[in-house]
Chains A and B, each alone.
Chain A
Amino acid sequence: MFDSDAKKSDIFEKFEKIGQRAEAVLSLGKLPFGMTFDEILSPTRALVNGREIILAGTNNYLGLTFSEAVKSAAIDAIARQGTATTGSRLANGTFREHIDLEEDLKTFFGAKSAVVFTTGYQANLAAISTLAGRGDHLLIDADSHACIYDGCRLSDAETIRFRHNSPEDLAKRLARLPDEGARLVVVEGLYSMLGDVAPLDEFVAVAHEHGAYLYVDEAHSVGCYGERGRGLADALGVLDKIDFLSGTFSKSFASIGGFCVSRHSGLDLMRLVSRPYLFTASGSPSNVAAARAAMGEMMNGPDLSRELMARAHQLHAGLAEAGFAPASPPGPIIALPRPDELTAVREWNQLLAAGIYVNLAVPPATPHAKSLLRLSVSAAHSAQEIDAIVSAFRDLT
């Protein structure tokens, strides 16, 4: 080792403020970020410090992570193809099952083309940055997920934000644009923080009127809305009018990976030029097999989205009755805005002590600098578990 560790400038200095904020949070109990689950027992139960808790913040909307069909598909894939692909889709990382998964996605969504990525984050990063190039315009909802913003940063197009869920504001901004260049409007289906949904039918109309393409990230809404969980666009009757639909395998699909499907065949050309597609290894055989099996369950198994919505309504009503004001109407994501960050942290700790895990969401990850307790419902939650969650909220002091 060196005698002295003198550097020109302290590279960690920039994290000082966030470090202080984390310490203030930690002084109230456990650090709610990056918490460790010692053991996962089921889609709705885990062990933390030797104690069994109910999970109410997992994005495991359909509870398929423990489905026998999904688990055995993943195990079988490992047995037949090994644990990893050890390469990029363009080189040695495309196995038969990656292609089969893309074919399944085309069938599921009635799309002309489908591309599978290693994560949903990379799907948005890849598709957005590659579709919109120099001279084009990206119009994104102001409350977009970080990976949509990052996709825009990686793109050579100009990015313009419009007010959250406002087709009127989008129309105004589209009307201001010059005639040259393509226009790509990017919105989400179900918003991950506040649990509100986009008026996709209205966005379709505005995009059409202004000659723009519409890109919808349905990371949270696939599995939850629409016929057989095809998503919000399907539920609103506009699936065939969406130009690009992206999503993730990390939530309802009980795996990891991401995808983009399109009614245009041109999407396939992206494979040759998109950096987040080219320069990373492809999803492992077990991940791909699990995603396919989960999609199979969604298409042919019992309709889990109905059970999910029934539980969502139960939880929403229970929390409202207990005096809380959910940010949005009943849905798979239920967000409760709290007065400030420290109250939210204190309540988060109380809930954990009562055996309930929820998500804590604080700025800048949340819109309008809100501090939230965020719950996500699973079709695997029993009615009794929902009651137990409500009861823990009622006991908050």
Chain B
Amino acid sequence: MHSGTDQKTIFEDVARVLSARSHTQAAIRPDTRIGADLEIDSVEIFDIVMELEDLYNISLPVEAASDIDTVQDLVAKIGQLANVR
């Protein structure tokens, strides 16, 4: 399991996973939109979420995933879930 759950570590992990799946050259910053800027579709985002769930030993409900628009949304959601336990 992952030890650091600070926002910076989470951002780095998220950026790494996203850049491997991105369909564009867009830079990955907190305000980057996962769908619009990286052209990652709703099915692909599910696989990405699974990878991050394993990394942080969390489960991100499907309902929460549909609220995620930007990279920061994803980072915040993971932070919130990872810190609860």
Contacts and interface: CB of A to CB of B under 8 A. Distances in A.
A93 to B, nearest CB: 33
Nearest to B43: A364
A325 to B, nearest CB: 23
B62 A159 contact: yes
8 contacts: A142-B46, A149-B62, A158-B61, A159-B62, A159-B63, A161-B46, A173-B59, A364-B41
A160 B50 CA distance: 10
Given A142-B50, A176-B57, A160 B43 contact: no
A149 B65 CA distance: 13
Interface string A134-171: 00000000100000010010000011110100000000
Q: Which 5 residue pairs of A and B lie closest in terms of their CB atoms, listed nearest first?
A: A159-B62, A158-B61, A160-B59, A364-B43, A173-B59
Contacts of A364: 41-43
A66 B2 CA distance: 59
Interface of B: 41-44, 46, 50, 57-63, 85
A181 interface: no
Contacts of A176: 57-59, 85
A369 interface: yes
Interface residues of A, number: 14
B50 A161 contact: yes
A160 B58 CA distance: 10
Given A142-B50, A161-B50, A163-B50, A363 B43 contact: yes
Nearest to A368: B47
Interface string A354-378: 0000000001100001000000000
A147 to B, nearest CB: 15
Contacts of A177: 59
Nearest to B57: A176
Interface of A: 142, 149, 152, 158-161, 163, 173, 176-177, 363-364, 369
A152 B62 contact: yes
Chain A at the B interface: SS class: mixed
A177 to B, nearest CB: 8
B65 to A, nearest CB: 9
Looking at B44, B50, B59, which has the most chain A CB atoms within 10 Å of its CB?
Answer: B59
B48 to A, nearest CB: 12
A137 to B, nearest CB: 8
Q: Max chain A CB contacts within 10 Å: which of B58, B60, B61?
A: B61
A159 B50 CA distance: 13
A30 B19 CA distance: 37
A142 B45 CA distance: 12
Given A176-B57, A176-B58, A158 B63 contact: yes
Given A159-B63, A160-B59, A176-B57, 5 more contacts: A152-B62, A158-B63, A159-B61, A364-B41, A369-B43
Contacts of A363: 43
A97 B61 CA distance: 41
A368 B50 CA distance: 13
A33 to B, nearest CB: 18
A179 to B, nearest CB: 13
A146 to B, nearest CB: 11
A160 B57 contact: no
Nearest to B62: A159
Contacts of B43: 363-364, 369
A3 B67 CA distance: 41
- Among B44, B46, B58, B63, chain A packs the most CB atoms within 10 A around the CB of B63
